[in-house]
């Protein structure tokens, strides 16, 4: 998909629990100055009026009629139908609110609402990590190419999205790639999100440091403590991020057993990737014990590489390419027996990847029509 050459304009929204930020994109770039209004999520009527007002103001700033509206909105939701379910961050949304149909009735253009982690992954698949990796493989002369990408977002929650061969997978119930509810490795009776989120980092820091949770600093400060930049319990800081990497890595390993894809990481905690990714990738390359004493099995059929580590990036791109002879002839064909995946950070930034994903998703759906 060549976003930069597409002339269609799409109205966009960054929907947060506190603020709504309205804008528009054309050719994969933002084309108006963003407009910000309080979300007023506790009052449904006021919130809906704000949505209409914000999109109207952006529309008036355009030189042409927009082709669609496309944005991410918190779930639960029936995204295909544009219906938002009961919200935690926007408590005014209860019982099912037909937000998409309301906007379509008002603006008379198609409206596409999606999950933020889905759109983040789609943006990285279109213009971020996935094309970067394939370009590097091509320059290295490797026959290997990747067609699929799984994205995880580490922040307030633990989100996921999956793109295969240019198509965003959402599932039959708009619940595809909802990885937050996978089993937590460290706390088997709990969900992965409780071990791979902002609150998890604070909780584990407090546990190791022996202090109440309320006294635990925010993850940004915990990261600075781990780096020795701020005074605090450095051992607890390092361990809190190691544990997050372990829990997230266990979830990603389960995911990769099904998707066999590259993995991109985004979200507010991605800035601590230097402390998270090594443990996460170690989980991918771990092993299981057999019921027969002394026997083990690899966790995955593929080998995981940390794409933020220069040496591992080089090994990943190089692979194990060789030429083999076709039986019965002198012809040779390339063969790379190294089955592998790479885990890398967002190349676009989480917000921009999500915006590009929303834009690209709208264009894709419009083209289908």
Q: What is the pLDDT of residue 85?
A: 92
Q: What is the pLDDT of residue 15?
A: 87
Residue 257 has pLDDT above 80, yes or no: yes
Half-sphere exposure of 240 (CA within 13 A, CB side): 36
Residues forming beta bridges with residue 306, ordered by sequence position: 343
Q: What is the pLDDT of residue 14?
A: 87
Q: Give pLDDT tens digits for 125-153.
A: 999 999 999 999 999 999 999 999 999 99
Phi and psi at residue 263, to the nearest 5°: -130, 130
H helix count then E strand count, the chain? 10, 19
| Torsion over CA: 135, 137, 138, 143 (sign) | negative
What mean pLDDT, rounded, does the chain reach? 94
Residues 140 and 276 in one domain: yes
* Domain C-terminal end among 45, 79, 114: 114
CA distance 65 to 294: 68
Q: Which of 89-98, 185-194, 224-233 has the lowest mean pLDDT?
A: 89-98
CA distance 90 to 20: 11
Angle at 221 between CA 217 and CA 227, to 5 degrees: 135
CA distance 308 to 125: 18
Residues 344 and 359 in one domain: yes
Residues 279 and 347 in one domain: yes
Residues 69 and 174 in one domain: no
CA distance 216 to 170: 36
DSSP state of 260: -
Average pLDDT over residues 229-247: 97
Q: Give pLDDT tens digits for 168-183.
A: 999 998 889 999 999 9
CB 149 within 8 A of CB 264: yes
Residue 1 has pLDDT above 80, yes or no: no
* Domain C-terminal end among 114, 142, 167: 114
Q: Give pLDDT tens digits for 34-74.
A: 999 999 988 999 999 999 999 999 999 999 999 999 999 88
DSSP state of 178: -
Q: Within 10 Å of residue 117's Cβ, how many Cβ atoms?
A: 29
Q: What is the pLDDT of residue 102?
A: 97
Q: Give pLDDT tens digits for 186-224.
A: 999 999 999 999 999 999 999 999 999 999 999 999 999
Residues 75, 76, 81, 82, Cα dihedral to 10°: -40
Burial of 19 (0-12, 13-18, 19+ CB in 10 A): middle
* 356 Cα distance to chain centroid: 13
* Domain C-terminal end among 114, 148, 167: 114
Q: Give pLDDT tens digits for 269-328.
A: 999 999 999 999 999 999 998 888 888 999 999 999 999 999 999 999 999 999 999 999
Residues 131 and 73 in one domain: no
Gyration radius of the chain's alpha carbons: 22
Residues 306 and 177 in one domain: yes
Residues 106 and 125 in one domain: no
Give the CA distances from residue 240 to residues 92, 264, 266, 331, in Å, rounded to whole numbers and listed in that order: 35, 21, 18, 54
Q: Give the domain extent around 331.
A: 120-368
Residues 204 and 101 in one domain: no
Residues 205 and 303 in one domain: yes
Residues 167 and 237 in one domain: yes
Residues 93 and 130 in one domain: no
CATH of the domain at 32: 3.30.420.40
Residues 76 and 17 in one domain: yes
Angle at 350 between CA 348 and CA 353, to 5 degrees: 55
249-278 CB burial, b ≥16 within 10 A, e <16: bbbbbbbbeebbbbbbbbbbbbebbebbbb
The closest of 322, 338, 302, 317 to 132, measured between CA atoms, is 317
Q: What is the pLDDT of residue 193?
A: 96
**How many domains would you assign to the chain?**
2
CA distance 160 to 252: 10
């Amino acid at each position: 998909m060549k976003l930069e050459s597409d002339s269609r304009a799409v109205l966009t929204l960054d929907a947060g629990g506190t603020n709504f930020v309205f804008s528009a994109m054309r050719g994969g770039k933002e084309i108006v100055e963003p407009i910000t209004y309080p979300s007023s999520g506790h009052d449904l009527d006021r919130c809906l009026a704000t949505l209409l007002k914000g999109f109207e103001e952006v529309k008036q700033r355009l030189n042409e009629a927009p082709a669609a509206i496309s944005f991410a909105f918190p779930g639960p939701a029936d995204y295909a139908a544009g219906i938002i379910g009961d919200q935690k961050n926007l408590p005014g949304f209860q019982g099912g609110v037909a937000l998409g149909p309301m906007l379509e009735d008002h603006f008379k253009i198609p409206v596409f609402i999606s999950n933020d982690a889905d759109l983040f992954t789609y943006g990285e698949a279109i213009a971020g990590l996935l094309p970067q990796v394939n370009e590097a493989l091509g320059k290295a002369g490797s026959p290997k190419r990747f067609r699929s990408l799984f994205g995880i977002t580490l922040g307030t929650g633990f989100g996921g999205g999956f793109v295969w061969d240019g198509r965003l997978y959402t599932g039959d119930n708009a619940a595809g790639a909802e990885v937050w509810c996978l089993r937590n490795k460290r706390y088997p009776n709990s969900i992965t999100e409780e071990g791979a989120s902002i609150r998890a980092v604070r909780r584990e820091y407090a546990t190791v440091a022996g202090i109440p949770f309320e006294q635990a600093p925010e993850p940004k400060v915990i990261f600075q403590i781990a780096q020795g930049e701020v005074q605090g319990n450095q051992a607890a800081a390092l361990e809190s991020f190691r544990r997050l990497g372990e829990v997230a890595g266990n979830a990603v390993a389960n995911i990769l057993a099904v998707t066999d894809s590259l993995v991109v990481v985004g979200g507010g905690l991605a800035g601590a990737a230097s402390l998270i990714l090594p443990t996460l990738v170690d989980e991918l390359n771990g092993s299981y014990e057999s019921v027969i004493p002394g026997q083990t099995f690899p966790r995955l059929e593929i080998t995981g590489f940390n794409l933020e580590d220069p040496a591992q990036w080089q090994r990943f791109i190089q692979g194990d390419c060789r030429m083999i002879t076709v039986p019965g002839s002198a012809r040779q064909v390339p063969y790379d027996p190294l089955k592998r995946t790479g885990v890398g950070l967002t190349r676009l930034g989480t917000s921009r990847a999500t915006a590009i994903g929303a834009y690209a998703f709208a264009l894709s759906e419009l083209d289908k029509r």
